[in-house]
Amino acid sequence: MNNQHALLQTALDFALRNPHSDFYRRKFGASWEQYFGKPIEDIPFLVRKEIDDAPIFERTFVPREMVRFIRSTSGSSGKHVIGFPMLEEGLYQEFLRSIGYTHTPGQLSRYFEPYFTQMNIRSMLLFSAGAFVHEARVRDMEGRQCIAGEFSQPKLTAQLGTEAAVDAIVGNPSGLVDFAPHMRAAGGHTGVRLIISVGERPTALQFETLETSFPNAKIALQYGLTESQGYVGYTCPEKLSVDPKALHLAEGTLFMELIDPDTEAVLPLQPGTEGEVVITTHEPQGFPLIRYRTGDFARIREESCSCTGSPLLFECMGRLELDRVRVPKGMLTIAAIEHAIFGFGGVREFEAKWNTDGGLPRLEISLYMEHRYAAEHVMADELASRIRIAPTVTYKTIVDEGRALPLSVTILPPEQWVGWKKKKRLR
């Protein structure tokens, strides 16, 4: 985050004086020029609803003839998908030159390059993912074979990947988990040495499934979102084998803040700080973000790093109001539910819903299990005692105190898995 003030002014200049869109001029009002020169804390936040409410070409900051495709979000947030204007790589570089912006070619591909180089990766299977918006920069890496995969055609893609002896697979965590059995069936899973999970943070169960499905692979995380049109954080290459959740900040295209989601106060980026991620993109693009509240929760790690990435390391903790919700006497998190479920064998995935429809709320859990070996009410009682809301508070505690209804568990055997949707989480 060196020279943050100058980068902020670059971002504001592009967003506010842009001839192709007055999105931010309308957002900031008639006195929009007052924000030049001010510290970032004085600039209003941007939230998802403001983007939702603006038609696509009212938030297109490049000439319309340069827009080649619309990149949509994956919908993993539980909200409807939303499109963003995207340029082909060559046009993107041309546009940056036309406005006098100095850009380093392959700026984002460098976050992948250390993995590929140190592991001698030569053949990659790439799936299109909501946050994976710079495939072209990876494809252009000399000497590497890149194969485009389709999650909608998993069997054929797995056969192709196996025949090509791919070393690495890149895609979003949900898609990768669903694809893994097909790669195993095709016999190519043992040859995969690197998995790059892009976009949202994989759950603990998803991470465990990928480790089991690809026993010879290291797993790297690339945390990002379509709105940013790039990555926010990436696994430190030096920690890839031992601590893949330790992420460097992708300083080349954006800078990050952490805020208290309730008070909106800016929090110091120091060890142990936890807060909602706010990002500002300082590289001009189809739709620039100025203090965008991502809804994601992150924690600054205690340790720093001296490798080629940013010294700051952080960990993505999940999504507010999706991975964690405030409940009586504390915070209910997906991590706590996952931890409680780990003791039951045969669970492939689960859905959790904090149901607040009328009367007392209730936690409702659906378990996708290989075998129906326990009655739902027995598992519900056991899970209620295991799921921790605070160090000395379990879900059973708030039920006994009359603050919530008893936990509800539904077991879904394999014959009911057709058309299932993961990651509903705590909606």
Average pLDDT over residues 267-280: 92
313, 317, 318, 321 alpha-carbon torsion, rounded to 10° = -120
Please say whether the dihedral angle defined by the alpha carbons of residues 177, 247, 297 and 345, taken in this order, is positive or negative. Answer: positive
Tokens linked to 294 = 């991502």
Query: Which residue has better confidence, 320 or 196?
Result: 196
C-alpha–C-alpha distance, residues 102 and 111, integer Å: 19
298, 300, 306, 308 alpha-carbon torsion, rounded to 10° = 20
C-alpha–C-alpha distance, residues 247 and 300, integer Å: 9
| Of the candidates 114, 135, 112, 76, the residue with the CA atom closest to the CA atom of residue 316 | 76
Which pLDDT value is given to residue 111? 65
Q: Is the pLDDT of residue 231 over 60?
A: yes
HSE of 111 in the Cβ direction (CA atoms, 13 Å)? 27
Q: Which residues are CB-neighbours of 412 under 8 A, at least 6 positions away?
A: 366, 367, 368, 369, 420
Q: Has this prediction a pTM greater than 0.95?
A: no
Which pLDDT value is given to residue 419? 47
| Other CB atoms within 10 Å distance of the CB of residue 90 | 10
Tokens linked to 111 = 């976050």
Helices 204-213 & 173-186 angle (0-180, nearest 10): 20
Tokens linked to 247 = 């992420």
C-alpha–C-alpha distance, residues 31 and 402, integer Å: 51
DSSP 3-state helix, strand, coil percentages of the chain (rounded to 5)?
Answer: 30, 25, 40
Residues, the chain: 427
> Phi first, then psi: what are they for 32, rounded to 5°?
-60, -30
Where does the pLDDT of residue 2 fall: very low under 50, low under 70, confident under 90, or very high at 90 and above?
A: very low
Q: Is the pLDDT of residue 1 over 50?
A: no
Q: For residue 333, list its beta bridge partners.
A: 324
Give me the DSSP letters along 25-59: HHHH-TTGGGGTTS-GGGSPPB-HHHHHTS-GGGG
In 356-407 the beta strands, taken as DSSP E runs, fall at 362-369, 388-390, 393-394
Where does the pLDDT of residue 411 fall: very low under 50, low under 70, confident under 90, or very high at 90 and above?
A: confident
Residues of the chain with pLDDT > 90, as a percent, come to 30
Buried b (16+ CB within 10 A) or exposed e, 160-170: bbbeeebbbbb
The DSSP bridge pattern shows strands 168-171 and 123-127 to be parallel
Query: Which residue has better confidence, 108 or 331?
Result: 331
Q: For residue 393, list its beta bridge partners.
A: 390
Q: For residue 72, list its beta bridge partners.
A: 83
Which pLDDT value is given to residue 426? 37
C-alpha–C-alpha distance, residues 426 and 309, integer Å: 34
In the chain, what's the furthest Cα-to-Cα distance? 66
Is 51 exposed, middle or buried, given 0-12, 13-18 or 19+ CB atoms closer than 10 A? middle
C-alpha–C-alpha distance, residues 203 and 215, integer Å: 18
Is 120 exposed, middle or buried, given 0-12, 13-18 or 19+ CB atoms closer than 10 A? exposed
For residue 18, give Cα distances in angstroms to 43, 254, 281, 308, 321: 18, 19, 15, 34, 34
Rg (CA), the chain: 22
| Of the candidates 169, 207, 209, the residue with the CA atom closest to the CA atom of residue 188 | 169
Which pLDDT value is given to residue 105? 44
C-alpha–C-alpha distance, residues 177 and 181, integer Å: 8
Average pLDDT over residues 300-321: 79
| Other CB atoms within 10 Å distance of the CB of residue 356 | 11
Where does the pLDDT of residue 345 fall: very low under 50, low under 70, confident under 90, or very high at 90 and above?
A: low
Domains annotated on the chain, with CATH: 1-319 (3.40.50.12780), 324-416 (3.30.300.30)
Average pLDDT over residues 415-424: 50
> Phi first, then psi: what are they for 17, rounded to 5°?
-100, 10
H helix or E strand, kind and range, residue 233: strand 230-235
Residues of the chain with pLDDT > 70, as a percent, come to 79
Q: Is the pLDDT of residue 216 over 50?
A: yes
C-alpha–C-alpha distance, residues 12 and 35, integer Å: 8
